[in-house]
Amino acid sequence: MTLGDRLLDIYDLMLRRYGVQNWWPGETRFEMMVGAVLTQAAAWTNVEKAISNLIAADALSAHAIRSIEQEELAQLVYPSGYYNSKARKLKALADYLGCRFGDDLDAMQREDTDALRDELLGVYGIGEETADDILLYALGKPSFVVDNYTRRIFYRLGLAPEKGSYSAYRSSFMDSLPTDQELFGEYHALIVRHGKEVCKKRPACQGCCLLEVCPTGKALIEAG
DNA sequence: GCCCAGGGGGCTC
DNA sequence: GAGCCCCATGGG
């Protein structure tokens, strides 16, 4: 059984358990990009408040974010925490979109995925996870998102790559799974769902409870 | 009061 | 390139 087969089995288990997650929340591609920045080390409920503030202030566009004072922007995104940092990050994102694409997200979407990823990583405030969130969910490109749940769960399942780095995990998934944007998007969403719902409530398990081989001997999800 | 949430930058070594 | 600290609110 290849790694790809095992990863697909785990995907099927989670999909049957939780159903389709339909990530990412957001009405527009730009809103999804903003959400990707605001959700950094923040609970999504707080991100929603910040986005609501931006909408109420008519500031949920790249142009508006460039125009508004950074201090005012910081007050709008206050509920999502790290508000000074995040205001600066949103400015950097809006500047990038304006300078590079003239705010034309269709043009952005036509760019090569790997090249675009390198560019995004050069923007202040966009690290690997945020870049992959943007590529995958806002732009619909097949770029696998790795987060702490992913590492915790797959390490515990004995499916971690030798090196525990972000890129090692990402390559492990992308080299083993079919290149499919919908699969990648649903897979990451299911990992987060499982992490929140099960691993957090059962710290001893840490995600391994997906499988019969769970070292705790208390598998929560039966095959089928 | 304590812990953590859908991280990233900057610095040190 | 690994390890640490900083950024900060809100919910359990």
Express each pLDDT in A120-173 by its tens digit: 999 999 999 999 999 999 999 999 999 998 998 888 888 999 999 999 999 999
* Chain length of chain A: 224
- Residues near chain C (nucleic strand), Cβ < 7 A? A 41-43, 45-46, 49, 78-79, 81-86, 163, 165
Give the integer Cα–Cα distance in Å for A99 and A127.
Answer: 20
How many domains is chain A built from?
A: 2
Instruction: State the average pLDDT for chain A.
Output: 90
Separation between the CA of A158 and the C1’ of B6 (whole angstroms): 23
Residue A166 lies in a domain: yes
A57 shares its domain with A37: yes
A35 shares its domain with A109: yes
Instruction: Report whether pLDDT(A175) > 80.
Output: yes
- Residue whose CA lies closest to nucleotide C2 C1': A165
pTM of the model: 0.93
For A81, the domain range is 29-138
Residue A105 lies in a domain: yes
Burial A65-76 (b: 16+ CB within 10 A, else e): bbebeeeebbeb
Q: Tokens standing for A133? A: 């969130």
